[in-house]
Homo-oligomer: A and B are copies of this chain.
Amino acid sequence: MTYFTFTEQHLRNFTESVFIKMGCPEKDAVLAADVLLKSDLRGIDSHGVARLSGYVRLWEKQRINATPNVTIVHETPTTATVDGDGALGLVAAPFAMKVAIEKARIYGSGWVAVKNSNHFGIAGYHALMAVEEDMVGISMTNASPLVAPTYANERLLGTNPMCYAFPAAKYPPLIVDMATSAAANGKLEIAQRANLPIPEGWAQDKNGVGTTDPNALKSGGSLLPLGSDKDHGSHKGYGLSAVVDILSAVLSGANYGPWVPPFVSFLEPSADPVGAGIGHFFGAMRIDGFRPADEFKQHMDNWIERFKNAKTIDPDKKVIIPGEPEFAAEIERKKNGIPLIDAVVYDLNELALNLGIAKLH
């Protein structure tokens, strides 16, 4: 595999110009590019500019609205439902998180469900918005059905990620940002490119039999929930995914379960939808609604240090604090640039050609 490395600024300019070309207002283009770049900076290559052409294809099919009117359609002092009006999730999600933060500022907490939206990038971006305000940040989203619940031979749930972020004092925020499936689809794609088998427990084939074939999804198989099988708690991964689906979509009025529209443009959304678009859910809670923020952060530092210094099985493998590798990547990539694999670079250059903008490289 060949990598090309780009500065953050170069990728950012390119990404903004793509969104501008789609017809997004400039501030939306800047925001959407910021969400994608954050993913690339943090080393989550599957959710950054690698998806840019996917968003454009959905826009070409008129499944993404570049000039949406994102509005609050229902609210109480601390809850709200936002209608994304078919927006990029990269735009609707930060809008909703700001509403949650504003409510939390006044009442201690804020909770916002979003319908009629699209893929929102990394969950962590939105949760971290709250952390900057000394709040706990929570974000989740449902997604195209790829995962079979325990005992099912059918894809009924997405990899439905949930994210919780907490500020610390001298350490970076502790952030748990995880798909509720055993493995993310991106990991299967890596195995496909390398032509390597995947571990048992990630996927089942079209007959519901566990498989190590990295192409299982393409031939009618399904991903498995976190826990992999019933003996190891796959009903828990299924349960968590259900929680994300219900909070994101049954609460907001979006599509849920097998009705969630596919991210890929070559698959059509359900002809018989149960809601609007895909759904997200966001929360913000003021730390000082529970105890002084400084006190909390001191204890977070203590928590982090105790876990970092845990006795380990292998002296070369320390216990990892959730979110720490991503913060380390962000520092490194801000300095040394963001590497993209050749396939992504070619894809972006082709996109530039089609849109009539300057190539990436």
Contact = CB atoms under 8 A, between A and B. Distances in A.
Interface of A: 74-81, 107-109, 111, 113, 136, 149-154, 156, 164, 166, 174, 176, 178-180, 182-183, 199, 201-202, 204, 207-209, 226-228, 231-233, 235-240, 242-243, 245-247, 250-253, 256-258, 274-275, 285-287, 289-291, 295-296, 299-300, 302-303, 306-307, 310-314, 317-320, 322
Given A107-B77, A156-B310, A246-B300, A251 B318 contact: no
A156 B310 CA distance: 8
A94 to B, nearest CB: 19
A300 to B, nearest CB: 6
A182 B291 contact: no
A230 to B, nearest CB: 9
Given A79-B285, A322-B235, A306 B153 contact: no
11 contacts: A77-B78, A78-B78, A149-B319, A152-B312, A156-B310, A207-B313, A226-B233, A246-B303, A250-B300, A251-B296, A256-B299
Given A136-B251, A291-B74, A235 B303 contact: no
A197 to B, nearest CB: 12
B151 A313 contact: yes
Contacts of A252: 290-291
Given A79-B290, A179-B236, 7 more contacts: A75-B108, A75-B289, A152-B319, A245-B303, A246-B300, A253-B291, A253-B295
Contacts of A237: 226
B78 A107 contact: yes
Nearest first, the 4 A-B pairs at minimum CB distance are A76-B108, A79-B289, A208-B313, A176-B239
Contacts of A199: 231-232
Nearest to A77: B107
Contacts of A231: 199, 201
A107 B235 contact: no
A161 B90 CA distance: 32
A156 B233 contact: no
Nearest to A138: B243
